[in-house]
A and B are shown apart, each in its own frame.
Chain A
């Protein structure tokens, strides 16, 4: 089956720093979503991005479907950015969502 790998698994940064999170997938997919889960468990859909680049405030995402990866950029990090970032890809065959293992981000004040 398809493999979804996220890197790095853990990231600790100072407030104000920039970061890049990566999601690699082993086969062609219909689309890709990025989620943020805060320390209390709330999952928020950040981007639905099958290809191209999208921006939302300090966050932006780029998916290069032909090369099977997506990047999530966080600029000027704030402590509220802490949590786990998941990417999830949708399969062509049955539209099932396959999740990566996540990147745990800690932003220190």
Chain B
């Protein structure tokens, strides 16, 4: 079983809906990540939280809004998405953030597969 838990596993939403993806880890990791993965492509980094603060936003559109309520939880709020946003959304954690070399050995969740109609 993965030590990073993502919910829901599958989500179908319309372009006017508001939904959220959730991620939880209990490994004591201080950095958490959101990645987006399209079919047959490697994961693309979206956001990094380090010590509960947003440290990296890879120019992600504002219709994606991350939130880190505490060191164990990471949310991704979705609003007014487009069909091209349909993808597998992966959460990951690491002991430290990208401020420290070699510390970003990632543990991934199983992903949330999002379909936007």
A and B are partners in one complex rather than unrelated chains: yes
Assembled-state Cα–Cα distance A34/B7 (Å): 25
Given known A31-B101, A95-B99, A95-B101, contact A45–B42 (CB-CB < 8 A):
no
User: Chain B interface mostly helix, strand, loop or mixed?
Assistant: loop
Q: Is the CB of A43 within 8 A of B100?
A: no
CB distance from A103 to the nearest CB of B (A): 11
Q: Is the CB of A41 within 8 A of B113?
A: yes
Assembled-state Cα–Cα distance A33/B102 (Å): 10
Which A residues are within 8 Å of any B CB, using their own CB? 30-31, 33, 35, 40-45, 48, 50, 86, 88, 90, 92, 94-97, 99-102
Q: Can you list 24 contacts pairing A with B, beta carbon distance less than 8 Å?
A: A31-B101, A35-B106, A35-B108, A41-B37, A42-B2, A42-B108, A42-B110, A43-B43, A43-B106, A43-B108, A45-B105, A48-B102, A90-B102, A90-B104, A95-B99, A95-B100, A95-B104, A96-B98, A97-B104, A99-B42, A99-B43, A100-B42, A101-B41, A101-B42
